[in-house]
Amino acid sequence: MASFSLTSSSPTLHKATIIDPSSSSSSSSSSSHAFPHRPPFVLRMPHQPRRLQTPLVLPKIQSLRHKTRATPVTKDLWDNSILKSETPVLVIFYANWCGPCRMVHRIIDEIATEYAGKLKCFIVNTDTDMQIAEDYEIKAVPVVLMFKNGEKCDSVIGTMPKEFYVAAIERVLKS
């Protein structure tokens, strides 16, 4: 049975040769096949492509980038996490089906990383924690509320640029 192989004289040009496993030469043969269900040739590559390898540093960078994120909060944790907090708190009210909420959520995650230690960031899913949304009269999402000493002190309704949220945070931190 003859097999087919590629040989290369340069990195881009390949030439094909037919290899006959029953003889030691690289010429074709017309002998009967021992295995009629197999093709009379086998394609062989001169070299295997190298696998892509991820540097070991990349997972560390990714873990540092997303180390501080907005934490989900439920009705059970609301009082201790938001109302009794000594540091200012930012809360985003969102829904899973809301596209603009995802955009704001990414912005708030960035803000949580930048203001770690100065500000706590939480997220409330209005579909699962409707009582909290009703208590603060949330009619549409996304809504971002700022709390300081357990009191609501600022709010941002809708999707805004990051600078808008940062300005609201700075106002609350200075007050």
Write down the catalytic residue from 89, 101, 138, 169.
101
Please state at what angle helix 99-114 crosses helix 162-174, rounded to 10 degrees.
50
| Distance between CA atoms of residues 20 and 22, nearest Å | 6
pTM: 0.61
Calculate what percentage of the chain has a pLDDT beyond 70.
61
**24-65 pLDDT per residue, tens:** 444 444 445 555 666 666 555 566 555 555 555 555 545 555
**68-93 pLDDT per residue, tens:** 688 999 999 999 999 999 999 999 99
Known catalytic residue: 98?
Answer: yes
What the chain holds in terms of domains, given with CATH numbers, is 1-49 (no CATH), 59-174 (3.40.30.10)
Write down the catalytic residue from 2, 89, 98, 169.
98
